[in-house]
Structure 1
Amino acid sequence: METNSSSPPFPGNHSTCSRDNVVKTMVFPVLYSFLFLVGLVLNGVAVWVFFRIPSKSHFIIYLKNIVVADVIMTFTFPFKVLSDSNMASTGLRIFVCRVSSVLFYVTMYISILFFGLISIDRCIKTLRPFRGTNAARLVRRKILSGAIWTFLLVLCLPNVILTRKTPSSPYFKCGDLKTEAGLYWHQVVNHVCQIIFWCNLVTVIISYTLITKELYRSYSRSTGGTISRATSGASTRKHHQAKRKMNANVFLVLAVFFVCFVPFHFARVPYTMSQTQGVLFDCKLKLFFFQLKESTLFLSSLNSVLDPLIYFFLCKSFRTTLFKTLQLAPGTCSRLTGRGSEMDTVSTI
């Protein structure tokens, strides 16, 4: 979470180091407005579909939690648009600092945690494809999901409570509203969030390394079998083509994680240094790191519209329910997803 999530204009300051340039006040507001509209539609459909799907697997439980996080994140975008474009009143900018930006980061790290859990789940599903589930395991996953939400909300609640100072002028940063205890707790939350990200990054890398090895072994075995069974070559080739497509779909989670979350956390390190050790950075360098942070933060926001790809390509129940609701044949998107029976080996039921 950032103390500078809201940066007002500085009267009379036309320096190239001012944060209020065309990128911040026009480009990003337009991009976030588009993201809000697309996210509202896609996540609205996701909520509508998942409301009809019972929580009968770990994967579906995790996806439902990500849907909720994405919906909340999407509703924070209009406030960021108004704040960044300098169209927000003082009261609204205070709300952004106290509530909206806090919810944005809470939902981001909730998504990161559930991406880690999904990676573990996909790894187990690949290594032990016939391992089933039961009611007790589902209850434990629901309790774990509730614990994640409770932990992060309780962790970040002081950021809301301790951001209560009255701004001394219309031109303030979010950090100006924090009490001394609030600034200290803000640093604590930053460190905890960094730990959450790096631990989940390691989890994702290990999980998909194991998945890759297992898929390669499986592909090698099936390829060897194909050579010895020339008589069924045509049908076997079709099977392998569908399976390779299925295998590629598994890596959507990895792709979304790396596109959305990794750049921001690497850019955040020099940005934080430029804010806490200002004497080492001149104004233009600070501006560069700020724009880098905002650009990668937008990539993190893309998570809210990329997640529906995961729901569609990896969750068979989602596709089936969507097709039934829209009265489409299950094979409508077979060219994109591969045949359903083959997808089930790594997608949820």
Structure 2
Amino acid sequence: MGTVISVSNRKESADVKSSVNMSNNTTHCPNVSTYEFNIFAVCTYSFISIVGLIFNLMALAFFFRHTKSRSQTIVYMTNLAIADTLLILTLPMRIYHHLGFTGLPQWLCDALGLVLKANMYGSIFLLTCICFDRCVAVSFPMAERVQKGRQKAPLICLGVWLFTFGASLPIYFSKLKENSNVTCYTCFESQPVYSTQPVVVSVTLFVGFGIPFVIMLICSWGLLRAVQQSTVAQTSLVDSRKIQRMVAASLLIFLLSFLPYHATLLFLCLHKNNISSSMLTAYQYSLIAACLNTVLDPIAYYFTTETFRRNVDISAVQRMFLLNSQSSEMGNRSRVPNSS
């Protein structure tokens, strides 16, 4: 009789523990209003999806069409356009979510988040490679060792892809394991629990943002210094002010795109025990700013490339509309009866 009672007590205690574990999992769900219509997110993500996709597809069409004149910088730009395009392809599901629709499986949300973050950091590293390649190309134009090193651009791009996705896959599988015991799902509105851990934030800020930004600063200074000291810069063949504006625009775009996101990650890490809905909203908007980089990259890099502007005549579209408007005006004038 005593054994029967003890067995039943053990069973009841096990049930109590399982219910407590379920309640703990449930309480870890962030208190945010999910599945609500967010007009700002919908409009911004739609703008990024349409404009960014058009710009990057134009760049890819040009890069793959002119393979014979492909330089090391063009190799980095091609991979940057691919990374930006892959990031943009994840945005329609975010638009679907912010429109207020439900039913997205959690594994799909995690997979899309993986692709977005991997390509975002891939863009950061590729932007750093472009800045470094421009600096050494101008500073050491005749160094044979430097030129041989620049020819390894495809291998460097392959290393960037392997590093970004290789570092992101463990996060994805750990999320799958955690979500198997969680009873509530919040998809894109959820708190970035893994990304706000102190160790992860330290590595992310140092490797994913700090080192690339310092390299870009040093290379930008070296590029401007090399241009100013060159004899060609003293002539009218090189517009040093134009190069200065290009360098300043590249650094400004980098900061505006990626500084808010990493600053928000640090803020969430410091206040991870008391995260409010406004903090999560700030995190979502900082992620939108990071995604906006896919539209700014073509403007700062592709469309400022001399070879690109020579072969892609964007003003032809404007001339086409002007001709159409002039022909319509002439047609309207021909329909007006002569009163004389």
User: What TM-score comes out, normalization by structure 1 length?
Assistant: 0.69
Instruction: Work out which of the residue numbers 129, 139, 142 in structure 2 matches 1:117.
Output: 129
Out of 31, 52, 59, the residue aligned to residue 65 of structure 2 is 52
Instruction: Confirm or deny: 8 A CA contact 1:53 1:317 kept in the other structure.
Output: no
Q: Which residue matches 1:293?
A: 283
The answer to whether 1:260 aligns with 2:257 is yes
State the distance in 1 between where 2:261 and 2:198 align: 17
Tell me the residue number matched to 2:140. Answer: 128
Matched, 1:152 2:155: no
1:106 and 1:184 map into 2 onto residues whose CA distance is 13
**Shift, 1:146, TM fit:** 0.6
Any idea what SS the aligned residue of 2:175 has?
coil
- Alpha-carbon RMSD across the aligned residues, in angstroms, is 3.9
Q: Secondary structure at the match of 1:160?
A: helix
Contact 2:132 2:216 in 1 (8 A): yes
Q: How far is 1:46 from its partner? A: 1.3
Sequence identity of aligned pairs in percent?
Answer: 21
Aligned equivalents of 2:115, 2:133: Cα separation in 1: 27
Query: Counterpart of 1:77?
Result: 91
Matches within 5 A, 1:1-349: 18-20=32-34, 25-54=38-67, 56-91=70-105, 93-97=106-110, 99-129=111-141, 137=149, 139-164=151-176, 165-166=179-180, 168-172=182-186, 190-194=201-205, 195-217=207-229, 222=234, 239=236, 242-275=239-272, 278=273, 281=274, 286-323=276-313
Alpha-carbon distance in structure 2 between the residues aligned to 1:185 and 1:272: 5
Shift of 1:40: 1.6
Checking the alignment, whether the CA contact within 8 Å between 2:261 and 2:286 is kept in structure 1 is yes
* CA distance in structure 2 between the aligned counterparts of 1:41 and 1:251, rounded to whole angstroms: 25
Name the SS for the 1:36 alignment partner. Answer: helix
Residue 185 of structure 1, CA deviation:
12
Contact 1:38 1:305 in 2 (8 A): yes
2:84 aligned partner, one-letter code: D
Q: 1:192 to 1:321 in 2, by over 3 A?
A: farther
* Deviation per residue, 1:312-335 (Å, 9 max, x gap): 4442232233239x7999xxxxxx
Query: What is the deviation of 1:129?
Result: 4.5
Q: Give the whole-Å Cα distance in 2 for the aligned partners of 1:100 and 1:245.
A: 39
Stretches of structure 1 that go unaligned for 5 or more consecutive residues are 1-9, 11-16, 223-235, 330-349
Matched length: 286
Gaps of 5+ in 2: 1-25, 320-340
Once the two structures are superposed, what CA deviation does each residue of 1:36-77 show, in whole Å capped at 9, x if it has no partner? Answer: 111121112111111112263221111011001000000011
- Measure how far apart 1:253 and its partner are: 2.3
* TM-score, normalised with respect to structure 2: 0.70
1:311 is paired with a residue whose SS is helix
